Amino acid sequence: MTQSSNVEAEKPKNSTFQTLDRDMIATILGTIVYDKAFFFFEDMQKPTGQYATSLSDFSTKIGKVPVKCLTFHLKRTDFEDWIRDIIGDVELSRRIRELKSVDTTWKNDSTVRGNLQALVLSRIIELQYLWQRVMKYQRHIP
């Protein structure tokens, strides 16, 4: 007798699954137009003058903008929304949402900045690795 499998029951709660092909990885790691850039604010009506047009640029700006700016956007879900809706990375959006639920994330200014920047950088590295694998695989297809 065989046991039936229920994929939905085996899938972890709150998990996301996004199929990443070459084009999707290129889109996520690419640069977007200025009109869709992420604009950093310290508070309502208080822009910092900083903006990001790619995940790499976003990671760099996380290290430059005031921490008050980071907490402002984290509390409003602005980072998750932009990364999911504009950049197209559902997984990174989910990881940022989960990061916010960890008590130590809010411990002090350097923790907020460090945790967020490490998360974004690790995702960039992960996507670059996937890109290399996809390109290597495609070279071997006749």
Cβ atoms 28, 87 nearer than 8 A: yes
* 13 within a domain of the structure (yes/no): no
Task: State phi, psi for 52 to the nearest 5 degrees.
Answer: -130, 140
Based on the structure, what is the number of domains in the chain? Answer: 1
How confident is the prediction for the chain on average, in pLDDT?
A: 84
pLDDT grade for 50, boundaries at 50, 70 and 90: very high
Higher pLDDT, 21 or 129: 129
pLDDT grade for 141, boundaries at 50, 70 and 90: low
**Token match 């995940």: residue?**
55
* 128 within a domain of the structure (yes/no): yes
* 2 within a domain of the structure (yes/no): no
Q: What is the pTM of this model?
A: 0.80
User: Partners of 48 in the beta sheet?
Assistant: none
User: CA 89, CA 7: separation in Å to the nearest integer?
Assistant: 23
- Give the structural domain span for 125: 19-139
* 51 within a domain of the structure (yes/no): yes
The DSSP string of 22-63 is HHHHHHHHS---GGG-EEEEEETTEEEEEEESSHHHHHHHHT
* 7 within a domain of the structure (yes/no): no
Q: Which two tokens stand for residue 28?
A: 């996520």
Q: Tell me: the pLDDT tens digits for 77-135? A: 999 999 999 999 999 999 999 998 877 667 777 888 999 999 999 999 999 998 888 77
